[in-house]
Structure 1
Amino acid sequence: MSTLVLETLIDAPVERVFDLARNVERHTETMGHSERAIAGTTSGHLEEGDVVTWRATHFGIPLELTVEITEVDAPEYFRDEQVDGPFAEMVHEHYFERISANRTRMTDEFQFSSPVGILGTVVDTLVLRRYLRALLEGRNRELESIAERQTD
């Protein structure tokens, strides 16, 4: 399984960043690729036990990914796991650390593996790691921008 770890420092309170990161509408807004929630919890904040199906186009291919929020420890952590979708396995852990009253360290730990054995491992290494890192970095930049503009 491949693992990506990204760290983003955001000048906003941890509670705001945590809520933005698990908000369905913000997810749609920050991911691009015509991504949208099509089933399950399709609006508001995702909570433990919620299931959502996302539809997006990647590499010109329309894909659906269904994830379940399997753990929430507000405002420090949540975890989503693929229930159904293109990966053989996918787990995304989100960590939020209060640095100060208005500064948060957000860390993504994204674990994934492609189907089809050794061929999937080659695709992970040559293509998906770079693509998914860029996708997550773009989302994090957008979340940072929204969080830093917003006032409570």
Structure 2
Amino acid sequence: MVILMLAVAGLAACDRQPRVNPPTEPAAPIDGPEAKASPAPRPPGADTMLPGAGPVSFVGRWAAEADWCFNPRGDRVPIEITTTELRGYENRCDIQRITEISEGYEAALKCDAEGEARYERVRLTATKQTLAISWMDRSDRPVRLLRCTTLAG
């Protein structure tokens, strides 16, 4: 009799299929030691330089006029900004420090322009299509640039 009950219980267990969540429902959380582990720590300052971590990213190519996006050389070229530097016509600035603020970022730059080194502080406020750069040690009046979004620009 016990063997018969075990066989029936075994067959009933075989009939159950694991529940698969439909695409409109989120999956159940993973329950195990991996789920309880803390995420790996991020390098210092990484959160303020990654898109999606706060204000819209300033990384990209930007120009004062849309036509400038297509200029490969000359004084009317776009500036290129990465997480580590800002490059423009006859100048290059290393981003030495960057701080996320509510409306964007403030950065300390070491710039080399025409053979001379200068230290500058800037505020970068970006939307999807525009970037305002305020040179804090100068007039602090923002310079507005357009994002170069085409493949050629």
Using structure 1 for the length normalisation, give the TM-score: 0.38
Would you tell me which structure has more helix in proportion to its own residues? 1
Larger Rg: 2
Compare relative contact order (CA 8 Å, sep 6+) and give the higher one, 1 or 2: 1
Would you tell me which structure has more strand in proportion to its own residues? 1
